């Protein structure tokens, strides 16, 4: 059996120094010949967790360690503003959505008012006709 040297992985939650592992698909990814599967999965899990933690705590416009300018997270900002106003997203939608009266909707015979935007099939018919 051929052994291959894994470079290991040392992170916040997983510590594995370099070690020898059998060189087979069960222990190594075919394209990743420097880390065994277990060490690579530990690295990937910590990377994702750190990325998620950094995303929630960033200031828009700030530059992260990789030199990437952080963009405003619109969904998180909407939730925060609505929470300050005392609403959840569902409560705000239910409170501030405007519904038309049924007789107004009946005047369109169930068709959209702006077919170019809402009904692409009808828009094609309008152009031909």
Task: Tell me the pLDDT tens digit for each residue of 65-121.
Answer: 666 666 677 888 888 899 999 999 899 988 888 888 888 888 888 777 765 554 555
My answer on whether 55 and 113 are in the same domain is no
CA 45/CA 48 separation, integer angstroms: 5
My answer on whether 88 and 119 are in the same domain is no
pTM score: 0.40
Domain count, the chain: 2
Q: CA 51, 54, 59 angle in degrees (round to 5)?
A: 140
Q: In which band, very low, low, confident or very high, does the pLDDT at 129 lie, cut at 50, 70 and 90? A: very low
Range of the domain at 105: 98-129
Question: Cα dihedral angle (122, 127, 128, 129), rounded to 10 degrees?
Answer: 80
Q: CA 30, 33, 37 angle in degrees (round to 5)?
A: 75
My answer on whether 79 and 102 are in the same domain is no
- Decide: helix, strand or coil at residue 19: strand
């Amino acid at each position: 059996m051929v052994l291959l040297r894994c470079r290991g992985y040392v992170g916040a939650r997983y510590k594995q120094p370099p070690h020898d592992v059998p060189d087979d698909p069960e222990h190594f990814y075919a394209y990743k010949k420097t880390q065994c599967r277990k060490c690579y999965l530990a690295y990937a899990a910590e990377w994702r967790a750190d990325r998620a933690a950094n995303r929630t705590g960033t200031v828009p416009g700030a530059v992260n360690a990789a030199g990437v300018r952080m963009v405003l997270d619109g969904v998180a900002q909407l939730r925060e503003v609505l929470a300050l106003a005392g609403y959840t997203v569902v409560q705000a939608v239910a409170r501030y959505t405007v519904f038309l009266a049924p007789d107004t909707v009946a005047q369109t015979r169930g068709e959209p008012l702006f077919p170019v935007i809402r009904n692409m099939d009808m828009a094609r018919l309008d152009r031909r006709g």
